[in-house]
Amino acid sequence: MQEKMNLLRDLQEIDQEISTIEATRNSYEAELSTFAAQAAEVQSMLDQLNVEIDQLRRDEAQIEQELHKQRDNVTRVEARLPGIQTQKEYVAVLKEIDVAKKGNKELEEKLQEKRKEIAILVEDQQEKQAGLDAISGNAKARGSELDQLLRDSGSQLDEHTRNREKVAGEVPKSLLRKYQGLFKRRNGMALAVARNGACLGCNMQLPPQLFNRLLQGADLQSCPHCNRILYVETEV
Ligand SMILES: [Zn+2]
């Protein structure tokens, strides 16, 4: 009975270490995926910006083209001036030139506006790109650290798992099942110390008869309150 209990205590110690390693590995994995998520978020903002900038540049090109056309137009009309014979026609052509120039001025202002919009977005784009580069740099440096940590903890885990199989193999099957169920339900504490007639797992008083049997070391006892497998500490 003492031997079984020692095996269970060894097993629980190994299982707790395994749980700790697994939790640590999960946090490494989570950290790794954070980098990926951050990068994806900034990348999608960048993609959106690129689409907007492309659209604005197309608008800009269209206005430029229109402006060229209108300027050529003004030049063409102005070229007609020296050949004009009548005052009336002269006034009419001057007016035409005036209207065209006003139109050009509006186009020029529109073009300036577009260029300002583009400049703002390009600045934003550069900031986001720098942010993305920083995230990638970080992910690279910390990522290789994390990969190394994962490899190291992976071999630790393998070692503990092999060790666990060896110990678990010596525990009777039904007792192992009971222990494993308790380990899960009781957050990695399947066993509890019994001291001064109480279970230290749940701090409840044990029936005196049960506690006495435990002290005699006759057989394994479970706490009637929390179900944990009880043991008394023999070492002083
Ligand atoms: Zn208990």
Domain positions in the chain are 2-171, 175-231
Residue 133 tokens read as 């580069």
How far is the centre of ligand 1, averaged over its atoms, from the C-alpha of 164 (Å)?
25
Helix/strand/coil for 147: helix
How far is the centre of ligand 1, averaged over its atoms, from the C-alpha of 209 (Å)?
15
How far is the centre of ligand 1, averaged over its atoms, from the C-alpha of 1 (Å)?
19
Helix 87-168 × helix 2-80 angle, to 10°: 170
From the list 116, 147, 222, 140, the residue with the least C-alpha distance to 178 is 222
How far is the centre of ligand 1, averaged over its atoms, from the C-alpha of 194 (Å)?
8
Q: Which fold has domain 2-171?
A: Helix Hairpins (1.10.287)
How far is the centre of ligand 1, averaged over its atoms, from the C-alpha of 42 (Å)?
52
How far is the centre of ligand 1, averaged over its atoms, from the C-alpha of 87 (Å)?
114
How far is the centre of ligand 1, averaged over its atoms, from the C-alpha of 77 (Å)?
103
How far is the centre of ligand 1, averaged over its atoms, from the C-alpha of 225 (Å)?
5
What values do phi and psi take at 203, rounded to 5? 65, 25
* 98 φ/ψ sector (left φ>0, alpha ψ -120 to 50, else beta): alpha
How far is the centre of ligand 1, averaged over its atoms, from the C-alpha of 223 (Å)?
5
pLDDT at 2: 84
Q: DSSP code of 218?
A: -
How far is the centre of ligand 1, averaged over its atoms, from the C-alpha of 202 (Å)?
4
Per residue of the chain (236 residues), give pLDDT as tens: 788 999 999 999 999 999 999 999 999 999 999 999 999 999 999 999 999 999 999 999 999 999 999 999 999 999 988 999 999 999 999 999 999 999 999 999 999 999 999 999 999 999 999 999 999 999 999 999 999 999 999 999 999 999 999 999 999 999 999 999 999 999 999 999 999 999 999 999 999 999 999 999 878 999 999 999 999 987 65
How far is the centre of ligand 1, averaged over its atoms, from the C-alpha of 31 (Å)?
37
